[in-house]
Amino acid sequence: MANSKIERVRGVNDVLPREYRAMRHIQDTLQATFERFGYAPLELPVIEHTDLYLKKSGEEIIARMYDFQYRSRRLCLRPEMTASVMRAYIDNLQNEPLPLRLHYSGPVFRYEKPQKARYRQFTQMGVELIGASQALADAEVIRLAYGALQALGLKDFRAVIGHVGILSRFLQNLKIDSRLRSFLLQNMEAMQKKGSAFVTERLRQIYPAFEDSSAQTMPRSQRLTALFQEMDEAEARLAVLDFLQNINIHLEGSRDADEIIARLLTKIRRRDQTPGLQSALRFMDEISRLSGSPAAVLPEAEKILASYAIDRSALDALRELVRALEHYGLGWEHISLDLGLSRGLQYYTGTIFEVHHGGLGEERQLCGGGRYDDLIATLGGLNDIPATGFAFGLERLHLALESEGGAKGGPQPLVRALIAAIDAQDFPYAVETAERLRAHGVPVELDVRQRSVKSNLQYADKRGIAFVVLIGPTERAAGEVVLRAMDTRQEKRVRAEEVYAAMQQMRGENDGQS
RNA sequence: GUGGCUGUAGCUCAGCUGGCAGAGCGCCACACUGUGGAUGUGGUUGUCGUGGGUUCGAGCCCCAUCAGCCACCCCA
């Protein structure tokens, strides 16, 4: 009593019975949907080696991991499921015939600043479809997400489909180095929402050498570096050495001379990124404006790609996906294309998609996913295996359902009957009756507090318990019990062996009346 | 990580310019010693989020800290 209260850890939640039921219902519904498409369940550990996420997850996620050193191992609480599932696939399932369909559900952890619909521990439930690179696979997975939302009865949701391949192919051609490439991929959405100037400003922060297009002419000071671009490796090295000697820096004999020169050279040559970056930013600006129905987006995208003369395989894949979705009969009132879409996880290589909900706000998606064709190889898989998948945020689904009034009525009361002995002597008889009903599968609660009949009825009423069985000396003597239906106040004296049957009968009558 | 609002009974909240910590709901009991939802009566619960400071005196003012929410950021 005098002890101070111990608080719940920040950003995590207790799931109390009422909410638990609702969450359970959501999980059961999703699971049933997933199983109907042939996805098999698996459960995975909550802790993993941190390395699993360092390669391909993306800086934002990595920065927010629960990452710790324990007995000389570097471990973390998983921040998402896909990498874990792929790790498990590589560990245990590489002999399985492909394609392999898996679904999962479990807690993940991110050290974020908590607020509504954003917690440090939350539950992801999703699927992975391993071993199919076709658009048909992406379509199945999107269809599945869509179907799950419908099965839950949600109405006010909107799926947005994009494709990271369009931009990444473009950046590949420009030979932009990987750090800047992932920066640009990550900032596609910022480009769309905040505009080109915003992204340019951000870019300068990580790459100060960047000149934007306003500085058209090359200043004298840059001619030297431009010159370096034209030299081959050996020539450039000599030039650097010579330059350093001329300003009285002597590296000969220094152990790291080679390395220092190489590093200087890369730095100097970085400038070379500027024209590429400028072109990339322009391209992003144009492409990120394309969103809406396929009929509106695809022809425009075609024009832009043609004007930059880039390969259209990504766009073709997208078109194929659109066609496949139409085969599934998914209407475009809930789905749209958005070529400015980008995602926090870096492993996506193709189709990406998100699902938003009106009750949660634009920035809180219910679901996110996409295609990640390189992840298995990156994580050490035997073969280069393509895959696609998504994850729902269970807590967000719950909030979305609530915002649509879907949680109405509330969960059914667990207990169907309350058995109360009127006198202490009747207690054994009450226990016997309780056990009899339980054997029939009826959830039964026993009055263990020896309360008055009145209190018991009040309690049953508040708890929503449908039947009360009263047992007193008179009943016991006659081998009977009093069975009372709470809703109709109807009461019957029946033989103890027949309580269950009588209960069924009374329930039938009540249903008939209503 | 940045900025803002909030924190008083189990719950929702009131509490004036700094002067005895309150209401409603809930819970328990009784009215009614074997019959519920109404009503009445009584009872019950507080380190005023935590720690420090100012003051004769702090729920109220100041500082710090923790937590919840909101906007950024980002994600499911």
Taking C1' of B50 and every protein CA, the nearest residue is A4
Domain check: are A50 and A135 in the same one? Answer: yes
Residue A122's φ and ψ, nearest 5 degrees, are -140, 175
What is residue A1's predicted lDDT score, i.e. its pLDDT?
33
Domain check: are A34 and A147 in the same one? Answer: yes
Looking across all nucleic acid strands, the nucleotide with the smallest C1' to CA distance from residue A7 is: B67
CB count within 10 Å of CB A184 equals: 24
Considering the entire predicted model, what is its pTM?
0.85
CB of A127 closer than 8 Å to CB of A148: no
The rounded Cα A345 to chain-centroid distance in angstroms is: 11
Domain check: are A400 and A438 in the same one? Answer: no
| CATH code of the domain containing A78 | 3.30.930.10
- Nearest Cα residue to A166 out of A322, A384, A338, A390: A338
Domain check: are A151 and A113 in the same one? Answer: yes
Looking across all nucleic acid strands, the nucleotide with the smallest C1' to CA distance from residue A475 is: B34
| CATH code of the domain containing A480 | 3.40.50.800
Domain check: are A58 and A131 in the same one? Answer: yes
Domain check: are A399 and A426 in the same one? Answer: no
What is residue A110's predicted lDDT score, i.e. its pLDDT?
94
- Asked casually if ipTM beats, i.e. exceeds, 0.90, the reply is no
Interatomic CA–C1' length for residue A364 and nucleotide B62, angstroms: 38
The packing angle between helices A499-513 and A427-439, to 10°, is: 60
Q: Write out the E strands in A319-437.
A: 335-338, 351-357, 367-371, 387-393, 417-421
C-alpha–C-alpha distance, residues A282 and A190, integer Å: 14
Looking across all nucleic acid strands, the nucleotide with the smallest C1' to CA distance from residue A454 is: B35
Q: Could you tell me the residue range of the domain that residue A508 belongs to? A: 417-513
C-alpha–C-alpha distance, residues A351 and A346, integer Å: 13
Domain check: are A14 and A100 in the same one? Answer: yes
Q: How far is residue A107 from each of residues A82, A287, A363, A393, A451, measured CA to CA in Å?
A: 13, 36, 21, 10, 42
Half-sphere exposure of A126 (CA within 13 A, CB side): 26
Using DSSP, state whether A250 is helix, strand or coil: coil
Interatomic CA–C1' length for residue A116 and nucleotide B13, angstroms: 22
- Please say which residue of A228, A252, A273 terminates a domain: A273
Q: Domain for residue A310, yes or no? A: no
Give me the DSSP letters along A151-219. HHT--SEEEEEEEHHHHHHHHHHHT--HHHHHHHHHTHHHHHHH-HHHHHHHHHHH-TT---TT--SPP
Interatomic CA–C1' length for residue A119 and nucleotide B59, angstroms: 31
Domain check: are A16 and A112 in the same one? Answer: yes
pLDDT tens over chain A, length 514 residues: 334 677 788 999 988 888 888 899 999 999 999 999 999 999 999 999 999 999 888 778 888 999 999 999 999 999 999 999 999 999 999 999 999 999 999 999 999 999 889 999 999 999 999 999 999 999 999 999 999 999 999 999 999 999 999 988 888 887 777 778 888 888 888 888 888 888 888 877 777 667 654 444 555 656 666 677 667 777 777 787 787 777 777 776 666 777 777 777 776 665 567 777 778 888 888 888 899 999 999 999 999 988 888 888 899 999 999 999 999 988 888 899 999 998 888 899 999 999 999 888 777 899 999 999 999 999 999 999 999 999 999 999 999 998 887 654 445 666 789 999 998 889 999 999 999 999 999 999 999 888 899 999 999 998 889 999 999 999 999 999 999 999 889 999 999 999 999 999 988 776 544 3
Q: Domain for residue A397, yes or no? A: yes
What is residue A408's predicted lDDT score, i.e. its pLDDT?
46
Tallying the residues shown for chain A, one arrives at 514
Give the number of domains in chain A.
Answer: 3
- Please say which residue of A410, A427, A445 terminates a domain: A410
C-alpha–C-alpha distance, residues A61 and A424, integer Å: 62
What is residue A221's predicted lDDT score, i.e. its pLDDT?
59
What is residue A354's predicted lDDT score, i.e. its pLDDT?
95
Interatomic CA–C1' length for residue A512 and nucleotide B44, angstroms: 44
Chain B, protein-covered positions (CB within 7 A): 1-3, 26-30, 32, 34-37, 47, 50, 66-76
Contacts of A222 (CB under 8 A, 6+ apart): A271
Cα angle A60, A169, A172; round to 5: 80
What is residue A180's predicted lDDT score, i.e. its pLDDT?
80
Domain check: are A397 and A446 in the same one? Answer: no
C-alpha–C-alpha distance, residues A481 and A499, integer Å: 8
Query: Which residue type occupies A401?
Result: L
Domain check: are A501 and A438 in the same one? Answer: yes
Interatomic CA–C1' length for residue A6 and nucleotide B50, angstroms: 12
Taking C1' of B71 and every protein CA, the nearest residue is A115
Domain check: are A500 and A444 in the same one? Answer: yes
Domain check: are A135 and A240 in the same one? Answer: no
CA-based max dimension of chain A: 116
What is residue A410's predicted lDDT score, i.e. its pLDDT?
47
